[in-house]
Structure 1
Amino acid sequence: MLSPLLAIIVTLAAYKMAMYAAARFPIIQPVLVASVCAWFIWWVINGDWDAYRLGGDWISFWVGPATVALAVPLAKQIREFAHIWRGVLLGVGAGCAVAILTVFGLGLLFGTDDVLTKSMLTKSVTTPIAVELSKNIGGVPALAAFFTALTGIVGIAFARPLLALVGVKDDWAIGIAVGTSAHAIGTASLNRVSQVQTAASSVAMIMAGVVTAIYLIPFSL
């Protein structure tokens, strides 16, 4: 029991250090730095990855409630959302379709294994949904979680700079783009920037989970 508890402490400490570093150096991506730090510290002091997985399961349990908590900013912006929900739904639907088609395109280009492709199809939705969808369509949940985290890290690194480069400045547009492509990790990163962007990203993330599940129905039959 001590090793899983130690794994939780190491993970939280690594994330705290990463957040402190990111506060001083904004270019740093906390999730990426925390992952590397946690891996290195655990490799040095223990190295039992089965025990670390058990500790990670306790943390993963709270991912769902934490994701739901991201809807709080949306509640504050609900009146504005009521006027634009059709456009939001259209944008999220198009974004989810592009995410899935991109995976198929890359799979064909590089000749990836069918199981690997199915594990990547859910990469743009939040982790709890991605894992369950991956199980239903024949993917590997662990790989799905990895690709989901990787997508979120890449999203927070490039989404906002890329949107700024092409001239997208509207808070709702930025939030919808980030929430659709970078799920909870991207949404959490916006919480330090704008409550409106966080609200938009939250609703996009929720819609993306539903829309992606609908798109993937043929793969679960």
Structure 2
Amino acid sequence: MLDILLAILVTLGAYRLAIYAGRRSRHIQPVVVATICTWVIWWLISGDWESYQMGGEWISYWVGPATVALAVPLAKQMRVFSDIWRGVLLGVAAGCLVAITTVLGIGWLFGMDEVLTKSMLTKSVTTPIAVELTKNIGGVPALAAFFVALTGIAGVAMARPLLSLFGVKDDWAIGIAVGTSAHAIGTASLNRVSQVQTAASSVAMIVAGIVTAICVIPFSF
């Protein structure tokens, strides 16, 4: 029980440290910093990853409510969304199809195991949805959660430089791109930048979950 409590405290402490570092420099990605700090600290003081996983489950329980809370910025932007919803749906759907097709292409190119491929198909949707979808199509939920986290972290680190490179400056365009590719992790990272981007990302994350669920139906047979 003490190890579980310690795991929770280490995770929260690393998170606070990452937030502080992110406020000091906009080039620092809190998600990446928190992940690295948590791994290093836990490896130094314990190294018992089974105990850490048990503690992590307590934190994971709140992922669902936290994801729902991201809808608050969206409620403030509903008037704008009502004018552009067709373009948003089309963009998110295209992004989801690219994400799934890319996984299938990589799986075919490298001859990946079918179970591994199925576990990667849901990498661009938020964890609660990804885990349930992966169960239904015969993948490994634990692997799916790993790929979701990895995708989110990579998305947060790469999204802004890539969007700047291609001259994307519109808040809704940025939010849609991040929400479609980096789900809740990406959406949370935008919350300290722009409420409009957060709202757009929340929409994209929700729609991406629905579109992905529809697209992976054939893999459940």
Q: TM-score, normalised by structure 1?
A: 0.97
Q: Hey, what does 2:173 align to over in structure 1? A: 173
Tell me how far apart the structure 2 counterparts of residues 161 and 32 of structure 1 sit (CA, whole Å): 16
C-alpha distance after superposition, 1:107-128 (max 9, x if no partner)? 1111111111111100000111
C-alpha distance after superposition, 1:18-51 (max 9, x if no partner)? 1112222322221122112111211221222111
C-alpha distance after superposition, 1:82-107 (max 9, x if no partner)? 11111111111110000000001111
Counterpart AA for 1:87: G
C-alpha distance after superposition, 1:128-174 (max 9, x if no partner)? 11111111111111111111111111111111221121121111111
1:41 and 2:41 equivalent? yes
Q: Hey, what does 2:138 align to over in structure 1? A: 138
Contiguous gaps of at least 5 residues in structure 2: none
Q: Hey, what does 1:22 align to over in structure 2? A: 22
Q: Size of the alignment, in residue pairs?
A: 221
Tell me how far apart the structure 1 counterparts of residues 101 and 119 of structure 2 sit (CA, whole Å): 14
1:75 and 2:112 equivalent? no
Q: Hey, what does 1:8 align to over in structure 2? A: 8
Single out whichever of 24-33 and 79-88 deviates more from structure 2: 24-33
1:56 and 2:56 equivalent? yes
Tell me how far apart the structure 2 counterparts of residues 48 and 156 of structure 1 sit (CA, whole Å): 28
Contiguous gaps of at least 5 residues in structure 1: none
CA RMSD of aligned residues (A): 1.0
C-alpha distance after superposition, 1:161-218 (max 9, x if no partner)? 2112112111111111110001011111111111111100000000000110000111
Partner of 1:112, secondary structure, is coil
Tell me how far apart the structure 2 counterparts of residues 78 and 148 of structure 1 sit (CA, whole Å): 28
Q: How does 1:100-179 map to 2 (within 5 A)?
A: 100-179=100-179
Tell me how far apart the structure 2 counterparts of residues 42 and 102 of structure 1 sit (CA, whole Å): 34
Q: TM-score, normalised by structure 2?
A: 0.97
C-alpha distance after superposition, 1:51-107 (max 9, x if no partner)? 111100000000000000000000000011011111111111110000000001111
Tell me how far apart the structure 1 counterparts of residues 203 and 114 of structure 2 sit (CA, whole Å): 31
Tell me how far apart the structure 1 counterparts of residues 11 and 120 of structure 2 sit (CA, whole Å): 25
Identity, in percent, stands at 78
Q: Hey, what does 2:207 align to over in structure 1? A: 207
Q: Hey, what does 2:66 align to over in structure 1? A: 66
